[in-house]
Structure 1
Amino acid sequence: MRLTVHHSAELLPYWLDSLNKLLSADALNRDKLLHAGQWHVATFNDRVVGLAVTQDEEIIYFAVRDATRRRGVGQYLLSETLSWMQSQGCSQAMLSTHAARPEEHHALSAFLLHNGFTRNGERYLLTLNH
């Protein structure tokens, strides 16, 4: 099976276990995020391996399962999420690292800068081309 990003909060029952594992690393449950914005769910072999949640021009949550990091999942999830945002008329994407776990800040910062974001304090911005 291939890596796929689903742009929907419609959760398939067989995704729930792997989704809960992803969210538990950040002490979140899906009910907290379910109505927070648009979901972008990365799946591989019918398991959730990454999740981005967007609200207007902001990515309010972005995570990849520890077990699947350094394999292109985050890159693909970010690319697909940004493409979706652009198709919805967003002119920029913003992500704030203030809610990220402190031990994740360095890696997240490097990842965002590598993907063209510019840093402004704890906020990272990317202009989306139309």
Structure 2
Amino acid sequence: MRLTVHCLSRLPEQHRHHAELILQGRSLPTQGKLYLTTFNDRAVALAWRRDENIDFIAVRDITRRRGIGRELLHQLKLEAKAAGLARLDCDPAQAPEGERESLAAFLHSQGFRPREAVLSCCLYE
């Protein structure tokens, strides 16, 4: 099976259990676009975006360092660009305390740079 990124309005019930493992106690958004990444029909990553803000992005801990986050972020960038946005912003503080540094390093490796209190990526470079 292949890795697939889905843009959804709500989380399918079949993916709720694995999504809860990714969310680590956070609630799903009530606004914005929800992105679910699946592999072998299991949820392996989640993100949601409101306008140019990535409010949440996480890969399930047992599936990290396999390119899943990179593919999810690539899809977020493509859809934001198609929506006419010039940049995406993400605040690493949205991650659990022990994962903020690694999220910031990941975002930096994907072209995000410091801008005010967030990391920002220009979509037209």
Q: 2:101 aligns with which of 106, 111, 114?
A: 106
Aligned partner of 2:51 in structure 1 is: 56
Aligned partner of 1:124 in structure 2 is: 119
Q: CA deviation at 1:121?
A: 5.4
Q: Which amino acid aligns with 2:77?
A: L
Aligned length: 125
Aligned partner of 1:82 in structure 2 is: 77
The answer as to 2:1 corresponding to 1:17 is no
Partner Cα distance (1:67, 1:122) in 2: 30
CA RMSD, Structure 1 to Structure 2 (Å): 1.5
Unaligned runs of 5+ in 1: none
CA-to-aligned-CA distance 1:72-103 (integer Å, 9 cap, x gap):
10010000111111111111000012222221
CA-to-aligned-CA distance 1:7-66 (integer Å, 9 cap, x gap):
11233221111112211x2x2133xx1x23101110111111101100001101101000
Counterparts in 2 of 1:48 and 1:88: CA distance versus 1, 3 Å: same
Percent of residue pairs bearing the same amino acid type = 34
Counterparts in 2 of 1:125 and 1:93: CA distance versus 1, 3 Å: same
**8 Å CA contact retained: 1:98, 1:122:** no
Corresponding residue SS for 2:5: strand
Aligned partner of 2:35 in structure 1 is: 40
Partner Cα distance (2:123, 2:70) in 1: 16
TM-score scaled to structure 2, two decimals?
0.92
**8 Å CA contact retained: 2:92, 2:101:** no
Q: CA deviation at 1:122?
A: 3.9
Unaligned runs of 5+ in 2: none
